[in-house]
Amino acid sequence: MRRNLSAAVLSGVLAVSALAGCGGGDGDSGTASGDDKITLGFSQVGAESGWRTANTKSIQESAAAAGIDLKFSDAQGKQENQISAIRGFITQGVDVIAFSPVVTSGWDAVLQEAKDADIPVILTDRAVDSQDTSLYKTFIGSDFVEEGKKAGDWLVKEYEGKSEPVNIVELQGTTGSAPANDRQKGFADAIAANTNFKIVKSQTGDFKRADGKTVMETFLQSTPDIDVLYAHNDDMGLGAIEAIEAAGKKPGTDIKIITVDAVKDGMTALADGKINYIVECSPLLGPQLMDLAKKVDAGEEIPNRVLTEETTFTQEQAKTELPNRKY
Ligand code: GYE
């Protein structure tokens, strides 16, 4: 945009921003080069799930709509790739860095490097365990403990008044990731008072459909009397459905299934009766992220936590919602 302005206007704008720059903080470094387009470096986890694909699309489309120059990097599920992507963004001198940390720990050093370079960082979707919260400006995303709790609350209601044993198997998300840790905790807390509920197996399926299938196969072989599957995302649940059907059982009936995300494929299985309940987790974080990036770049105050609003779906609700589902 700046390129279309006359030289006179341009120098005026530069003078103002130079003055503003005297106050320190996070002025738009792009301004100094005569281009006021914000450059946002974004390091994505990978493409492990339908949720992730929808999240990537949301970020790319919203950046284009907001006139933000997005440098997008796919870490293919590896923390070391994310760390080098962030270091690359620092070297390039982007205005803002955002990333979705694959795991919670091990970020202090690279976040300190970004801070030393005066580049604000926005955590997107997943949290880090850094004690020093000044290493990032804000965290935008869901409350994963709450999601796990909603899953557990539904199960408690489902078996209300019944005292027979309920054998639960759990497919965890990526080991060490915030959603896996928190969805496990929220669920365990919610069912804790029900002494007849037992989590008989709990293993990671890395948020992937293929892994959900293979891990469920081993669960079915070792544990004949599974009543419930709690999967930390739809994709693992959908993979597990294939394993359950191959074992001659009826998903949703012989084994009750609860998942998290509510992507279209999950909602379809829910409407078809193969899943019993889904806790929504919205991947559509792009518009809010662009808004926050602009504000942080302008040195404006932003809240240190931006929470995503979400709901839950029963089979009946899924039938109504499915035609409107955007992802
Ligand atoms: O639930 C899962 C994805 O971090 C909230 O990551 C995200 C999770 C999401 O792979 O499907």
* Interstrand relation of 96-99 and 39-44 (parallel, antiparallel or unpaired): parallel
237 C-alpha to center of ligand 1: Å?
Answer: 13
Query: Whole-number mean pLDDT of the chain?
Result: 91
User: Which residues, listed in sequence order, are joined to residue 98 by a DSSP beta bridge?
Assistant: 42, 122
Cβ of 281 below 6 Å from ligand 1? yes
Q: Candidates 56, 150, 261, 279: which one to mutate for ligand 1, based on the most atoms within 8 Å of Cβ?
A: 261
3-state secondary structure of 302: coil
Could you read off the pLDDT of 209-234 as tens digits, one per residue?
999 999 999 999 999 899 999 999 99
Residue 12: pLDDT band with limits 50, 70, 90: very low
Residue 193 pLDDT > 60? yes
* Interstrand relation of 138-141 and 277-280 (parallel, antiparallel or unpaired): unpaired
65 C-alpha to center of ligand 1: Å?
Answer: 24
**In this predicted structure, what is the pLDDT of residue 36?**
83
pLDDT > 90: what percent of the chain?
88
275 C-alpha to center of ligand 1: Å?
Answer: 18
Residue 237: pLDDT band with limits 50, 70, 90: very high
Cα 77-63-299 angle, rounded to 5 deg: 100
Domains in the chain: ranges and CATH: 38-142+283-308 (3.40.50.2300), 144-281 (3.40.50.2300)
Residue 3 pLDDT > 80? no
In ligand 1, which atom is closest to the CA atom of 100? 4
* Interstrand relation of 277-280 and 312-314 (parallel, antiparallel or unpaired): antiparallel
Q: Candidates 45, 48, 51, 187: which one to mutate for ligand 1, based on the most atoms within 8 Å of Cβ?
A: 51
Could you read off the pLDDT of 13-59 as tens digits, one per residue?
333 333 333 333 344 444 444 468 999 999 999 999 999 999 999 99
Contact of 124 with 98, CB cutoff 8 Å = yes
DSSP secondary structure code for residue 37 in this structure: P
Residue 262 pLDDT > 80? yes
Q: Candidates 103, 144, 147, 281: which one to mutate for ligand 1, based on the most atoms within 8 Å of Cβ?
A: 281
Q: Where are the beta strands (DSSP E) in the chain?
A: 39-44, 69-74, 96-99, 121-124, 138-141, 166-172, 197-204, 228-231, 256-261, 277-280, 305-307, 312-314
User: Which residues, listed in sequence order, are joined to residue 255 by a DSSP beta bridge?
Assistant: 251
Question: Would you mind telling me the total number of residues written for the chain in this entry?
Answer: 327
Cβ of 56 below 6 Å from ligand 1? no
Angle, nearest 10°, between helix axes 178-191 and 144-158? 30
Could you read off the pLDDT of 114-167 as tens digits, one per residue?
999 999 999 999 999 999 999 999 999 999 999 999 999 999 999 999 999 999
7 C-alpha to center of ligand 1: Å?
Answer: 47
288 C-alpha to center of ligand 1: Å?
Answer: 18
Residue 213 identity (one-letter amino acid): K
Query: Counting Cβ atoms within 10 Å, is residue 35 exposed (0-12), middle (13-18) or buried (19+)?
Result: middle
